[in-house]
């Protein structure tokens, strides 16, 4: 589902342009959308790994918590939005 969002960006933009509503995407560039999809991908992986119902997964919670905390560490390539998002996620977790 995450990938389908970024794949449809151009179609959505064209439809909004056709309707005269292109302003709805002013604050969301395709680059930002793709970065958000990549950011959320790690959480999707964790969710998939921890949703098993017929296999033991308790031991995986600590592993995934560590992976997610490392994923949320600041990076020199982060823009202000992602730096702030990562910091807020770390405070919650």
Predicted pLDDT at 93: 64
The token pair at 12 is 């959505």
pLDDT over 80 at 88, yes or no = yes
Query: Apex CA 66: angle with CA 65 and CA 68, to 5°?
Result: 65
Predicted local confidence at residue 41, as pLDDT = 94
The per-residue pLDDT for range 39-69, each reduced to its tens digit, is: 999 999 999 999 988 888 999 999 999 999 9
**In the chain, domain spans:** 2-92
CA distance 21 to 16: 5
What local confidence, expressed as pLDDT, does residue 86 receive? Answer: 95
Structure confidence at residue 3 (pLDDT): 76
Predicted TM-score of the model (pTM): 0.80
- pLDDT at position 54 is 87
């Amino acid at each position: 589902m995450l990938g389908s969002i970024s794949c449809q960006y151009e179609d959505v933009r064209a439809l909004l342009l056709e309707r005269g509503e292109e302003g709805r995407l002013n604050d969301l560039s395709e680059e930002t959308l793709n970065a958000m999809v990549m950011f959320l991908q790690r959480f999707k992986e964790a969710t998939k790994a921890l949703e098993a119902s017929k296999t033991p997964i308790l031991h995986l919670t600590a592993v995934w918590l560590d992976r997610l905390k490392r994923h949320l560490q600041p990076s020199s390539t982060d823009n202000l939005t992602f730096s702030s998002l990562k910091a807020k996620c770390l405070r919650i977790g």
